[in-house]
């Protein structure tokens, strides 16, 4: 692991690191905020998964998570959203596929299966690296994210309820296997048989019996992707059907940007801290 940069902020340290990833067969970059409590105790780890087109840096720059994370004593890990590099297959003019659009799945189809293994990267490789290199109490993990990363957080929590104590999402893609902006990616990563997509679809995972104790979801009503891409009511239906606890808050007038995320960031951090500390 290489340290790219560190900077003191809100009493803690915001770092950026890179390493050669086995899962993704390329160098990967990620951000970690270590709050000031790190000198006293191992800290709970909260994973933030970003949306389409983002790197580790967008939420680090615009997410406004550090003040409250420092207050609550949460370590925040922000991974990249896909493998990257000259040897990684990509479609440069397609923002919904390839670089910046890993969708947190393990691809099975050539030529993507070699690199596009973000599910394994986020659930196995990066947690091991964090546990080895940071003052983390890896027994206490929570996960959240935005849009494609909200989808990632929901699916990863539903598939690993024993690993995560808390899960929330900002404007998540509720059902990627039936949304126009995610279907082409799922087909290229996972193949034409849609049965294989169900393992990476939050609502279908719930339909198939996966459970998580409780979820918090915020969604802006002025979000341009609401009706076609995000559709939180599908998650609401699935949770109701499964008697799963979901707090879905429709936030009047908010869009899909980091202005929305930063507004409700404190609420989400407190939600996780209540379950992690």
Residues of this chain that interact with its own copies (CB under 8 A) are: 7-11, 14, 61-62, 64, 66-67, 220, 222, 253-255, 257-260, 262-263, 266
Helix ranges, the chain (H): 57-62, 66-72, 118-120, 126-133, 148-159, 183-190, 202-207, 232-241, 258-276
Cα–Cα dist 138/218, whole Å: 26
Known active-site residue 208:
no
Kindly report the number of other CB atoms within 10 A of residue 16's CB atom: 18
Active-site residue (options: 56, 146, 151, 256): 256
Nearest to its own copies of 77, 167 (CB atom): 77
Nearest to its own copies of 69, 105 (CB atom): 69
Active-site residue (options: 50, 147, 166, 168): 147
Rounded to 5 degrees, φ, ψ at 245 are -75, 120
Q: Give me the residues paired with residue 210 across strands.
A: none
To its own copies, the closest distance from the beta carbon of 64 in angstroms equals 5
To its own copies, the closest distance from the beta carbon of 255 in angstroms equals 6
Known active-site residue 223:
yes
Cα–Cα dist 256/240, whole Å: 25
Nearest to its own copies of 62, 183 (CB atom): 62
To its own copies, the closest distance from the beta carbon of 259 in angstroms equals 4
Nearest to its own copies of 67, 275 (CB atom): 67
Whether residue 260 contacts residue 227, with contact meaning beta carbons closer than 8 Å, is answered with no
To its own copies, the closest distance from the beta carbon of 266 in angstroms equals 8
Residues 6+ apart with CB under 8 A from 217: 150, 168, 169, 170, 172, 232, 235, 246, 247, 248, 249
Q: How far is CA 141 from the centre of its chain?
A: 13
Active-site residue (options: 23, 223, 268, 272): 223
Known active-site residue 21:
no
Please give the positions annotated as active site. 147, 223, 256
């Amino acid at each position: 692991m290489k340290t790219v940069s560190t900077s003191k902020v809100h009493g803690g340290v915001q770092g950026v690191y890179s390493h050669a990833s086995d899962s993704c067969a390329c160098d990967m970059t990620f951000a970690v905020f270590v709050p000031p409590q790190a000198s006293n105790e191992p800290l709970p780890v909260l994973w933030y998964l970003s949306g389409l087109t983002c790197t580790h840096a967008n939420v680090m720059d615009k997410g406004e998570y550090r003040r409250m994370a420092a207050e609550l004593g949460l370590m925040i890990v922000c991974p990249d959203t896909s493998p990257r590099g000259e040897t990684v297959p990509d479609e440069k003019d397609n923002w919904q596929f390839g670089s910046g659009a890993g969708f947190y799945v393990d691809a099975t189809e050539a030529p993507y299966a070699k690199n596009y293994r973000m599910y394994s990267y986020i659930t196995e490789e990066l947690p091991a690296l964090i546990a080895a290199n940071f003052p983390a109490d890896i027994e206490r993990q929570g996960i959240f994210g935005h849009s494609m990363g909200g989808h990632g957080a929901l699916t990863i929590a539903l598939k690993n309820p024993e690993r995560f104590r808390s899960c929330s999402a900002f404007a998540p893609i509720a059902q990627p296997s039936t949304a126009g902006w995610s279907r082409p990616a799922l087909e290229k990563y996972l193949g034409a048989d849609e049965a294989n997509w169900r393992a990476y679809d939050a609502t279908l995972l719930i339909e198939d019996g996966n459970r998580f104790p409780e979820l918090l979801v915020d969604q802006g009503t002025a979000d341009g992707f609401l009706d076609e891409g995000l559709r939180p009511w599908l998650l609401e239906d699935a949770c109701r059907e499964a008697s799963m606890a979901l707090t879905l808050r429709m936030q009047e007038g908010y869009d899909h940007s980091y202005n929305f995320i930063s507004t409700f960031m404190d609420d989400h951090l407190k939600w996780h801290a209540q379950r992690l500390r």
